[in-house]
Amino acid sequence: MVELFFNLYGNWIQIHPIEPSTSDTDKWLEFFRAKVSWKNAFLDSLYAAMTSKAMLEQQKSHRRSSRKNYQSACDYVDNLISRRSKVLILRFDVAYKKYQQHLDMSRLGSSDGISADRALLDREKFIKLLKKAFSNAWLGYIWKLEYRPRKGYHFHMLVFLDGHKSMFDFNLVDQAGQIWIQEITHGVGVYYNCNRSAYRYLKDGTGMLLRTDKDKIVALKKAVGYLTKIDLLIRPKMLSRRRTFGKGEMVLGSKKTQDVRAALAEQRRAVKQQLPVVRPFDPSGRF
């Protein structure tokens, strides 16, 4: 939808009325009338494009992909919890300093700022270093790449550690953040420690999770829902079929583990009923 807007606007701006170079009142009145007509015509064309069959199918595809990613991520979380009775959850965001998005980044291999390829390569290296740093307790991870005009490319991360072998989640997130800043981006990276700001969330899905803590599992899966939400801004920037969402590999367990997983799946169905419904675009509405 965002891509559609900019493509249309790029075409229509070429026929935008030109401001008069005189102070003649009649010329300016004529210009303003033409500008109003131009805006109305542009909005009519935008509305027609947004309510077209192709656009509605594209929106449906985005929702289907989001639901698929959410289901897959919840299955992955259930698998992790079924394997360990205590799981330490680290939630954080990693990005690049704002001014670095537009400055010369020759040291990182891009003269136009941080490219999608560079960000994905950094993410791949980052995961490898995290596995090495937390090797004693490592269970898995989930990541989501997003793009914002002012923030550029950034990642939302969930890392899962064995709760029997790790603690002090605040410090561990800071350790991960320093790896991103010092070893991956060489000083131009930034990070945000969500575990330290858990008080901001209505339900906290970070820190130590016990398998029997249903409320925390619900909160964690709501965080997973945030990571799998539809992001319309990333698509125009991704010129090929690059992945914007990923997770670790699922490990199959014993019969007992499968029974635990089935119970967690039942909890997930209960969580799903609490999630807000994403309603499709209403073509009868006018903006």
**pLDDT 10s digits, 190-225:** 999 999 987 777 678 899 999 999 999 999 999 999
Distance of CA 81 to the CA centre of its chain: 23
∠ CA 264-265-267, rounded to 5° = 65
Residue 87, pLDDT score: 96
Query: Closest Cα to residue 88, out of 20, 168, 31, 157?
Result: 168
Q: Tell me, what DSSP letter sits at residue 180?
A: I
Least confident range of 17-26, 36-45, 278-287: 278-287
User: Residue 152: which H helix or E strand, with range?
Assistant: strand 152-162
The pTM of this model reads 0.69
Domain ranges of the chain: 2-50, 73-274
Residue 284, pLDDT score: 46
User: Residue 172: which H helix or E strand, with range?
Assistant: helix 169-178
Tell me what the mean pLDDT of segment 90-109 comes to. Answer: 66
Q: Is 123 exposed, middle or buried (0-12, 13-18, 19+ CB in 10 A)?
A: buried
* Cα 227 from Cα 221, distance rounded (Å): 10
Count Cα atoms within 13 angstroms, Cβ side, for 273: 5
User: Residue 70: which H helix or E strand, with range?
Assistant: helix 53-83
